[in-house]
């Protein structure tokens, strides 16, 4: 009996095969470029990125499960289509700082339509350099590399990844627009120096949601030029808290406008929520900043405005800050303080804080040093609802 061939069926199968081939061609697995578990994948991942970036439509770079070594890399755009970088395994940075020339380990830049995902881990191997050089004195260890740097990324999503033991900042954003971080884990010891979790600079439309940060410096730090920032359902601790600033140290800093920190929990942190500016500063502004629905657990300074921020005596503290802080709310903030300094509002004599509202504050202190304090300097805050500790006497 002869075999009857349905021309329509054959055409459909050929079309499906062609579609599958095209779909597969958009996946750039590092193993196809010589990447092997327990080996160095610097060259393999660079070639995979170059192929993906030159692909029209959607493409994906894949680092499969396993443990890999990777040197300093830059993943440059612009690319011809949307691109996803999927890390399923663990990549480890070199331990020796001499491998880093550009100030970062992994740098994504100038990409529109970018996703970083996969559930994998970027291991910065920070313990190899912590303590080898003082970062707590006048010398600032700025030559240590940032683990993940995002420069001029638009319409991005970073989700389901882990940053472990960064040498300096875990994540740094500069010039980014419309980028969301969600379900990101950031991990480093309390003693790790200058390991900010996520630092935002001159970026807008940034969302940090459902993220866990445990590190040795600010969990989230929001620098000049930041606009339309949302930090929501973030757990922070250990660390130095969630901070706007520091501001005013450099000339031509851009305003900070529109920050919301809501529904967050801070545990065993040095500060809770903080705004910090340098004395003897350049002029600047920070406005439309809202801290709401926050839980503090054994936090040293749960609510802290510090316009005399001067670590390591780097400045002339007697000269007041010229950064104007206005339109700020602290609302529904509850929990426990680890020191008496439950609420500390130290504003500038040159430009006192304006339109600062505290509403429904209930911070307990159960130590032996006395009652919790509510300090005000160069500010007349607006008050509503419950106030514990008792409101300040204006100085």
Task: Residue 25: give the domain boundaries.
Answer: 9-388
Query: In this model, does residue 25 exceed pLDDT 60?
Result: no
190 half-sphere exposure, CB direction, 13 A CA radius? 6
Instruction: Indicate left, alpha or beta for 138 from its phi (over 0: left) and psi (-120 to 50: alpha).
Output: alpha
Identify the DSSP state of 129. T
d(CA 130, CA 322) in angstroms, rounded, equals 35
Q: Model confidence over 236-261: pLDDT tens digits? A: 999 999 999 999 999 999 999 999 99
The answer for residues whose C-beta is within 8 angstroms of residue 31's C-beta and 6 or more apart is 44, 64
> How many residues would you count in the chain?
395
d(CA 3, CA 193) in angstroms, rounded, equals 74
The answer for residues whose C-beta is within 8 angstroms of residue 271's C-beta and 6 or more apart is 240, 241, 243, 299, 300, 301, 302, 304
Q: Structure tokens of 53? A: 């970036």
Identify the DSSP state of 97. G
Q: Where in the sequence numbering do the catalytic residues fall? A: 240
Query: In this model, does residue 13 exceed pLDDT 70?
Result: no
Answer yes or no: is 395 within a domain. Answer: no
Q: Single out the residue of 328, 309, 315 nearest to residue 379, CA to CA.
A: 328
Answer yes or no: is 3 within a domain. Answer: no
Q: Model confidence over 72-113: pLDDT tens digits? A: 999 999 999 999 999 999 999 999 887 887 789 999 999 999
Q: Single out the residue of 155, 211, 208 nearest to residue 179, CA to CA.
A: 155
Among the residue ranges 125-139, 147-161, 376-390, the one predicted with the least confidence is 125-139
Which residues on neighbouring strands pair with residue 94, listed in sequence order?
none
CATH number, position 36:
2.160.20.10
Q: Which segments of the chain does DSSP mark as H helices, in order?
A: 7-25, 42-53
Q: Which residue has the tokens 């749960």?
A: 302
Q: Model confidence over 173-203: pLDDT tens digits? A: 999 999 999 999 999 999 999 999 999 999 9
Contact call for residues 165 and 188 (beta carbons, < 8 A):
yes
Q: Which residue has the tokens 């006048």?
A: 138
Query: In this model, does residue 19 exceed pLDDT 50?
Result: no
Answer yes or no: is 223 within a domain. Answer: yes
Of residues 14 and 386, more confidence is placed in 386
Q: Model confidence over 343-395: pLDDT tens digits? A: 999 999 999 999 999 999 999 998 888 899 999 999 999 999 999 999 986 54
pLDDT value at residue 241: 98
pLDDT value at residue 99: 81
Q: How many structural domains does the chain have?
A: 1
Band (6; pLDDT cuts 50, 70, 90): low
């Amino acid at each position: 009996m002869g075999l009857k061939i349905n021309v329509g069926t054959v055409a459909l199968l050929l079309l499906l095969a062609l579609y599958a081939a095209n779909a597969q061609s958009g996946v750039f697995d590092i193993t196809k470029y010589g990447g092997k578990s327990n080996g160095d994948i610097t060259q393999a991942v660079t070639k995979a990125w170059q192929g993906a970036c030159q692909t029209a439509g959607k493409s994906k770079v894949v680092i499969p499960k396993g443990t890999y070594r990777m040197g300093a890399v830059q993943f440059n755009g612009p690319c011809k289509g949307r691109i996803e970088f999927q890390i399923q395994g663990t990549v480890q940075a070199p331990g020796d700082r001499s491998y880093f020339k550009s100030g970062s380990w992994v740098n994504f830049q100038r990409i529109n339509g970018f996703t970083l995902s996969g559930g994998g881990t970027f291991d910065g191997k920070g313990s190899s350099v912590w303590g080898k050089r003082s970062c707590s004195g006048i010398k600032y260890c700025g030559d240590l590399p940032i683990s993940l740097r995002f420069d001029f990324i638009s319409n991005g999503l970073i989700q389901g990844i882990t940053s472990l033991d960064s040498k300096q900042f875990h994540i740094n954003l500069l010039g980014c627009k419309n980028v969301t971080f969600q379900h990101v884990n950031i991990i480093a010891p309390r003693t790790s120096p200058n390991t900010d979790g996520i630092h935002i600079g001159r970026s807008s439309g940034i969302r940090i949601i459902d993220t866990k940060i445990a590190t040795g410096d600010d969990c989230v730090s929001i620098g000049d030029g930041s606009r339309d920032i949302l930090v929501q359902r973030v757990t922070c601790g250990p660390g130095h808290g969630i901070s706007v600033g520091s501001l005013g140290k450099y000339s031509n800093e851009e305003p900070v406008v529109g920050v919301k920190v809501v529904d967050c929990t801070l545990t065993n942190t040095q500060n809770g929520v903080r705004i910090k500016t340098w004395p003897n500063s350049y002029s600047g502004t920070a406005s439309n900043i809202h801290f709401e629905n926050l839980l503090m657990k054994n936090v040293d300074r749960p609510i802290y405005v510090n316009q005399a921020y001067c670590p390591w005596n780097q400045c002339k503290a007697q000269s007041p800050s010229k950064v104007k802080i206005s339109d700020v709310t602290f609302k529904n903030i509850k929990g426990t303080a680890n020191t008496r300094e439950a609420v500390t509002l130290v504003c500038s004599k040159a430009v006192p804080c304006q339109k600062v509202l505290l509403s429904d504050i209930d911070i307990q202190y159960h130590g032996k040093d006395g009652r919790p304090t509510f300090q005000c300097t160069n500010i007349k805050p607006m008050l509503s609802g419950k106030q514990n500790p008792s409101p300040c006497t204006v100085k």
